[in-house]
Amino acid sequence: MEQNQSQTLAIDHVLVVDDDLILCAIVERHFQKRGVSRIVVANDGRQALEILDSADQPPDFVLCDLNMPNMDGLEFLRHLESRRFGGAIGILSGEDESVVALAESLAQAHKLNVVGKLNKPLNAHKLDTLIAKAREELSAPSQQTSALVSDEDLYQGIIKRQIVAFHQPKVDAQTGQFVGTEALARWAHPEWGVVPPSLFISLAEETGLIEKLTFAVFDHALADLQKWKLGGINACCSINLSPSILTNINLPDEIASRVDAGGLAREQIVLEITEGSLLQKDAVPMEVMARLRVKGFDLSVDDFGTGHSNIETLRSFPFTELKIDRSFVSKMLEDAFAAESVRTSVELSKQLSLRMVAEGVETRKVCDAVKRMGIHHIQGFLFGKPMPGDDLPRWLNEYRVSTGQIPAAPQVSPAPTAAFPAR
């Protein structure tokens, strides 16, 4: 059960928050065996916040209980959001499964980087799995990178065209045919490497750079669609719109002009809007969304299930697609709450005649399950991770060969050696 120390190098500083002293000692010893050099223990949320506020560097990984005196884990998670904590978080609890699942969803609503949950009594193998997930999340740009990012850094990144689109493939659940991608923001920094959106999207929102950043991703995605078209690949592309830029009354004209100038069809573009923004039925965003539909763009409600939308709220907006959040899809076969959330989303989509997309499909069993439910499109690591646009044609060819949609290229045999020397 021991892991190589090289597998945990991304985790060097851990904070354990739990009032069970024996469990804390066991967990501390577990991390020590896995090469973690700095492990700090707090027995409630208040003590944990004091440790965080006095630390020279934030921890890479926080393992947090829910039921604690003075300040419980749920309140502690809320305070982590206000401190813009960007490290990995694992939830550890002996509470009912529904409570733990709700805490995980709440943490994700706080935009925290939750990598999973553990039930008590502690299982060492499952803790190792959680550590591996945290390590994977942290193997991208480090916490030091997050601390270094400023609004000026981000502004320079935008104007120097360092903000790019990575594409995650989507396929038809019933036929397996490739249908398009979701364009995801990445920052191709010359020193830090590829920076994930968790380290700069919130900063863009807070500093008013989100519209410039959105159009940077949009233009890069359009350029990729144009290149694919020249190579014989006609695809749709989903692009995220921040709720804050829906207050720009000129947004529909701006988007339409960019798509038209690129020689692309408007129906190729799906604009994704996060569910949480639907609660504010302001006149300008509603007009903007209506005009986007009139101009021929599809609208998708993203991360469905993580907010508070109901059928009446959704009817107020001209959506054509409902995207079921990965936090439910990936756990639907092992978590009753997640399974019910997916089932409810599917029923709601059918009532409203919306196209359904399931994200977070990582296993064949989950893929088969969403297919049986009648979900239309699926995306997830089972098919492909987000990739640069230039890599998609090669991925698509390999995918079509592996699924039998096209034959593999014939192997070219080497020329036979001459039996006699040439004259």
Q: What is the mean pLDDT of residues 160-188?
A: 95
- pTM listed for this prediction: 0.69
Domain segments of the chain: what residues? 5-138, 144-402
Which residues sit opposite 89 in a β-bridge?
62, 114
Q: Does residue 177 surpass a pLDDT of 50? A: yes
Relative orientation angle of helices 97-109 and 73-82, to the nearest 10 degrees: 10
Tell me the pLDDT band of 416, cut-offs 50, 70 and 90.
low
Tell me the pLDDT band of 195, cut-offs 50, 70 and 90.
confident
| pLDDT score for 398 | 95
Return mean pLDDT, the chain: 85
The pLDDT tens digits of the residues spanning 12-48 come to 889 999 999 888 889 988 988 888 888 999 999 999 9
Among the ranges given (50-64, 206-220, 408-422), the one the predictor scored with the smallest mean pLDDT:
408-422
Tell me the C-alpha distance between 234 and 226, whole Å. 9
The pLDDT tens digits of the residues spanning 138-150 come to 765 444 445 567 8
| pLDDT score for 423 | 36
Tell me the C-alpha distance between 131 and 11, whole Å. 8
Tell me the C-alpha distance between 65 and 51, whole Å. 16
The pLDDT tens digits of the residues spanning 267-314 come to 999 999 876 555 556 788 889 999 999 999 999 988 675 555 556 667
CATH superfamily assigned to domain 144-402? EAL domain (3.20.20.450)
Tell me the pLDDT band of 52, cut-offs 50, 70 and 90.
confident
DSSP string, 1-56: ----GGGGTT--EEEEE-S-HHHHHHHHHHHHHTT--EEEEESSHHHHHHHHHH-S
Tell me the pLDDT band of 103, cut-offs 50, 70 and 90.
confident
DSSP string, 261-273: HTT--GGGEEEEE
Q: How far does the chain reach from its first CA to its final CA, in angstroms?
A: 66
Among the ranges given (3-12, 184-193, 252-261, 347-356), the one the predictor scored with the smallest mean pLDDT:
3-12
Q: Does domain 5-138 have CATH number 3.40.50.2300?
A: yes
What tokens were used for 117?
A: 């949950």
